[in-house]
Chains A and B, each alone.
Chain A
Amino acid sequence: MNDTQLVMYDEDYRKVLAIIQKLVRDANAKGIFVVDRNGQLIGEAGEMRGIDTTSLASLTAGCIAATGGLAKIVGEEEFPIHFHQGHRDNLHITLVAKRIILVVIFDERSSLGLVRLRVKKAGTELGKVFEHIQKRSEQANAEGDGDAPFSEITDEDIDNLFSM
C-alpha cells in the first residue's frame, strides 16, 4: 500500500476529466468512473448520471481489494484487469498506478476489444497524472508543507453536526 497523503489540485482534476471524457468517446462507453482504492469517487464521465455512485465506488474498491488478496495467495502481485460480462452492460475494471481504479461500463455499441485498446492508452495517461500527484505530494510531505484546513474545528462545530 502506498501511504502518502495525496493532494489533488483543480488542474489535476481537469486533466483526469479530460482523459475520461475522451475515453468515453473513443471507447463508445456508457459510463466511466475513476475511484480511489479506498472507495472514494474521484471523477465520472458519460451518460450514466444519476446512478448510485457512492455504492459503485465502495463495491468497486471491495472487489479490487478481494481480488488483490486472491492474487497474493496464488503468488501474483495483483490482477490489474477485470472484466464482468452482463446481458446488456459489461464492466471493465483496471487498476492504474497501483491506487486508482478505472471503471468502464459499455454495452453492445462497443466491444471488449475496443475498450481494452482504448483503456490501455487512457490508463497510461491517467497513470502519469497520478504519478505526478504522488511525487508532488511526497515532496510536500517531506517539506512538512501540509495544508491545515481543519486545524480550527471547534468542539462546538462537532456538536452542531449532531443536531440531527
Chain B
Amino acid sequence: MRLSPKSRMKTSTTFFRCRPSMSFINYSSREINCKIVYYGPGLCGKTTNLQFIYTKTNPDLKGKMISLATETERTLFFDFLPLALGQIRGFKTRFHLYTVPGQVFYDASRKLILKGVDGVVFVADSQIERMEANLESLDNLKLNLAEQGYDLDKTPYIMQYNKRDLPNAAPLDEMRRLLNPSDVPDFEACATGGTGVFETLKAVARGVLSDLKQMSK
C-alpha cells in the first residue's frame, strides 16, 4: 500500500467513518470493521441467513452469535454475528453482521440498528402472498435510511430472493421487476439449506470494500 508522506509518520490511527458509514480502520491493530445489516419483512429469513453463516464458518473466523429474540424466536432487537474474513493488504477485515426485527411494530428498533451501516442486504420472502410485505419493508428501509441522511442508492446494497424452495414462490422476473428496479446485484436463496447465503454475503462485502476504496480516492 502506498501511503502519503504524512500518513507514513503516523504510528497508529483509528478512523471512525461516520459518513453514513462506520467502517472503522484501526492502524494500531491493523483492522477494518464494517457493519452489514440484513433487512426485510417478518419471517423472511434474516436470522436464518446469519445462523447458516454461523454454522458453516470456521470457529477461528467467527465470534459468538448473539440473538435478542422473543420466546417464539422472532427477533426482538437484533442478531449479531462478528466475522473475521481474512486480510486485505495487511489489514484484518472484520464484518459485523446484524439483522433487524422484521415485524412492523418494531420500527423504532430498526432505525437504531441502521445507524452507522456500511452495507445492506434486503432479504425478500419469495412467497407470493408476502409480496405486499416485501414492498412495505423496502419502503420502510428507504424511509429509515433517509431519516438519517443516507440514500439507499448510494449505499452498498444487495437483494436476496429467499425461500425459492417453496411451491408458492413468485416468478423471479416478477420479483425483480417489483423489488429491484435499479438492478443491484441479486441472488436467489434458500437460507434453510444455505443456497445463495454465502453468495449474498460475499456480494455485500465486495460492495462495502469497493465503496471504501471509492471513498478513499
Chain A contacts to B: CB under 8 angstroms? 1-10, 12-13, 36-40, 42, 52, 54-55, 58-59, 62, 65-66, 68-69, 146-153, 157-158, 160-164
Q: Are A10 and B212 in contact (CB under 8 A)?
A: no
Q: Which 6 A-B pairs have the closest CB atoms?
A: A8-B14, A38-B116, A10-B12, A6-B16, A65-B112, A38-B22
Instruction: Give B55-72 interface residues, CB cut-off 8 Å to A.
Output: 57-58, 61, 63-64, 66, 68
CB atoms of A150 and B206 under 8 A apart: no
Cross-chain contact A158 with B116 (CB below 8 angstroms)? no
Q: Number of residue pairs across A and B with beta carbons under 8 Å?
A: 152
Contact residues of B: prevailing secondary structure: mixed
Can you report 29 residue pairs joining A to B where beta carbons are below 8 Å apart? A3-B149, A6-B14, A6-B15, A6-B16, A8-B14, A8-B16, A36-B16, A36-B22, A38-B116, A54-B63, A55-B63, A58-B96, A59-B66, A62-B77, A62-B112, A65-B115, A147-B4, A148-B217, A149-B1, A150-B216, A152-B1, A152-B2, A153-B213, A157-B209, A160-B88, A161-B205, A162-B205, A164-B61, A164-B85
Closest beta carbon of chain A to B186's beta carbon, Å = 18
- Residue of A8, A40, A62, A157 touching B13 (CB-CB under 8 A): A8
How far, in angstroms, from A52 to B85 measured CA to CA in the complex? 18
B: contact size bracket: 35 or more
Q: Which residues of A lie under 8 Å from residue B163 when comparing CB positions? A: none
B192 within 8 A of A: no
Q: Does B172 sit at the interface, judged by CB under 8 A?
A: no
A10-B115 in contact (CB<8A):
no
Report chain A residues within 8 Å CB of B35: 38-39
Tell me the smallest distance from the CB of B96 to a CB of chain A, in Å. Answer: 7
Shortest CB distance B109–A (Å): 7
Query: What distance in Å separates the Cβ of A35 from its nearest Cβ neighbour in chain B?
Result: 12
Contact A66 B33 (CB under 8 A): no
Picked from B13, B33, B64, the residue with its CB within 8 Å of the CB of A7 is B13
A158 to B119, CA, bound (A): 15
Is there an interface contact between A58 and B66, defined as CB atoms closer than 8 Å?
A: yes
Specify which of B13, B19, B63 is in contact with A9 (CB 8 Å cutoff).
B13
A116 vs B16: C-alpha distance when bound (angstroms): 28
Residues of B within 8 A of A153 (CB): 88-89, 209-210, 212-213
Of all chain B residues, the one with the shortest Cβ separation from A4 is B18
Q: With the chains together, A125 CA to B52 CA distance in Å?
A: 44
Partner of A158, one of B22, B28, B58, B206: B206
Contacts of B112 in A (CB 8 A): 62, 65-66, 68-69
- Are the C-beta atoms of B66 and A161 separated by less than 8 Å? no
User: With A2-B18, A10-B13, A157-B89 in contact, is A148–B4 under 8 Å at CB?
Assistant: yes
On chain B, the residues within 8 Å of A36 by CB distance are: 16, 22, 24
